[in-house]
Amino acid sequence: MPEYRHARLPAGRRYGRMGIMRKLSESPAMNARRTPIIVLASTKGGVGKTTVAFCLATALARRLHHARAGMPEHRVVCIDADPNRTLQQALRIADMPDVRCVESGGETLLPAVRDAQATAGLVIIDLEGSANQAMLYACGKADLVLIPAQPSRFDVVEAVKTAGVVRQAADLVGRDIAHHVLLTRTPVLRQKVAEHSRGQFVKAGLPLLRTELIQRTAFQHMTYTGEPPHAQDPNGGAARNVETLAGEVAGLLGLLLAGAADVQALGPKQARRGRTSAAGEAAA
Ligand SMILES: Nc1ncnc2c1ncn2[C@@H]1O[C@H](COP(=O)(O)OP(=O)(O)O)[C@@H](O)[C@H]1O
Ligand SMILES: [Mg+2]
C-alpha cells in the first residue's frame, strides 16, 4: 500500500510560511500532485452516504490548503453517481462557489472522474446503495473509500459486502485501496448497542474510523436548507463532529487543512493564504 494513504502530519502544530511549504513538500500526497478521491460506498441505501458526502465537501472546501500548485478551478468537485441526485440537489441549495457538483454514473463515471481531477483540489464521489459498475469504477479510482453504516447487524452485513466490492476493485487495478467503515446516526450518549456494534464491525475485519457521525437534527435540517452544520451553529455539536471527521479524513489522505478556528477568525479568503495548521488539529 503506498505510504501516503496513511501519511499523518504532526497534530496540534502550527508552521510559519516556509514551514508550511516544507511540510507540504514532505507530504507524499502533495508530492504526487494527484487530486485525491474520496468515495462514499455502501450496497445499502439510507446509511448516510449523501449526508457524509455533503458534510465533507462543505467542510473540506473551507479548509483545504492549496499551496502545492496554486488554486485549482474548484476546491472540491463532487460526482453524484446516484440516479436520485440527492447530493446534487442539496449542493444546489447550498450554493457554495468552492464546491461544484456533476452528475454521472455507469459508463460516464471514468471520464467524469478524469475531468474532476483536472480541475479540483479534491474529488468526492457519492454512489447509490447497490453493488454496480459505478461502485466498482469509483472504488478502483479511490484513495479512500468510506463505508457509512448504522449500528445494526444489517449494516454489518452490507458493510462486509461493500468491502468485498472494494477488494474486487483493488484486484482489478492491482493496488490496495484504503477503506474504512464510518458509523453514522450513532446516539449522542454512547449506548450499549453502539459499543456492541463497533465490536461486530471489528470482528468482521472492517477497519473503523475513530470518528462517528452522531444522530443530530442539524444533519437532517441541512438537506432542506442547504446550510452545512458550521453555517447553522459554528460551535454546535454537529459542526464540531464534522470538523473532527474532516480532520481524520484529511489525516488519512495526508492533506493539510487550515485550522477550523483560523477559518472562522480570518474569514475564508484570508484563511486561504494565511496561517495553517496540521490536519490533526481539527480532531479536538
Ligand atoms: N447523523 C445523522 N443524524 C440525523 N440524520 C441523519 C444522519 N445521517 C443521515 N441522516 C438521515 O438519514 C437519511 C438517509 O441518509 P442519506 O445520507 O440520504 O443516506 P444514503 O445516501 O446512504 O442513502 C436522511 O434522511 C438523512 O437526513
Ligand atoms: Mg444517497
Least reliable range by pLDDT among 20-24, 32-36, 90-94: 20-24
Give pLDDT tens digits for 110-119. 999 999 999 9
- 7 part of a folded domain: no
Q: In this model, does residue 13 exceed pLDDT 50?
A: no
- 3 part of a folded domain: no
Cell of 255: 492533506
Closest C-alpha residue for ligand 1 atom 8: 48
pLDDT at 248: 97
Mutation to probe ligand 1, out of 39, 42, 47, 51 (largest number of atoms < 8 A from CB): 51
Output the domain CATH number for residue 97.
Answer: 3.40.50.300
Sheet containing strand 120-127, edge to edge, reads 99-103, 74-81, 120-127, 37-40, 144-149, 179-186, 213-214
Q: What is the mean pLDDT of residues 49-78?
A: 84
Mutation to probe ligand 1, out of 55, 127, 220, 225 (largest number of atoms < 8 A from CB): 220
Query: Which residue range forms the structural domain that includes residue 181?
Result: 17-283
Q: What is the mean pLDDT of residues 151-165?
A: 95
**pLDDT tier, 66 (very low <50, low <70, confident <90, very high otherwise):** low
Least reliable range by pLDDT among 2-11, 77-86, 211-220: 2-11
- 159 part of a folded domain: yes
Closest C-alpha residue for ligand 1 atom 20: 46
Give me the torsion for CA of 130, 135, 139, 141, rounded to 10°: -160
* Backbone angles phi and psi of 128, in degrees to 5: -85, 165
Give pLDDT tens digits for 262-280. 554 434 443 333 323 322 3
- 11 part of a folded domain: no
Distance 46 CA to ligand 1 centre (A): 6
Closest C-alpha residue for ligand 1 atom 13: 46
Least reliable range by pLDDT among 24-33, 45-54, 89-98, 240-249: 24-33
- 6 part of a folded domain: no
Three-point CA angle 178, 183, 187, nearest 5°: 165
Show contacts of 84-92: CB within 8 Å, 24+ apart: 84/128, 86/50, 86/223, 87/50, 87/53, 87/54, 87/126, 90/50, 90/54, 90/222, 90/223, 90/226, 91/54, 91/57, 91/226, 92/226
Which atom, in ligand 1's list, is nearest to the CA of 213?
1
C-alpha–C-alpha distance, residues 15 and 19, integer Å: 5
pLDDT at 118: 92
Residue type, 229: P
- 8 part of a folded domain: no
Distance 147 CA to ligand 1 centre (A): 13
Name the average pLDDT for the chain.
Answer: 82
Quick one: which ligand is closest to 159's CA? 1
Distance 50 CA to ligand 2 centre (A): 4
Distance 267 CA to ligand 2 centre (A): 31
Distance 184 CA to ligand 1 centre (A): 8
- 226 part of a folded domain: yes
pLDDT at 65: 66
pLDDT at 20: 38
Quick one: which ligand is closest to 184's CA? 1
Q: Give the count of domains, the chain.
A: 1
- 172 part of a folded domain: yes
Whole-model pTM: value is 0.82
Q: In this model, does residue 19 exceed pLDDT 50?
A: no
Ligand 1 interacting residues, C-beta cut-off 6 A: 42, 45-51, 86, 129, 184-185, 213-216, 219-220, 223
Residues with CB under 5 A from ligand 2 (ion): 49-50, 86
The percent of residues above 70 in pLDDT, for the chain, comes to 76
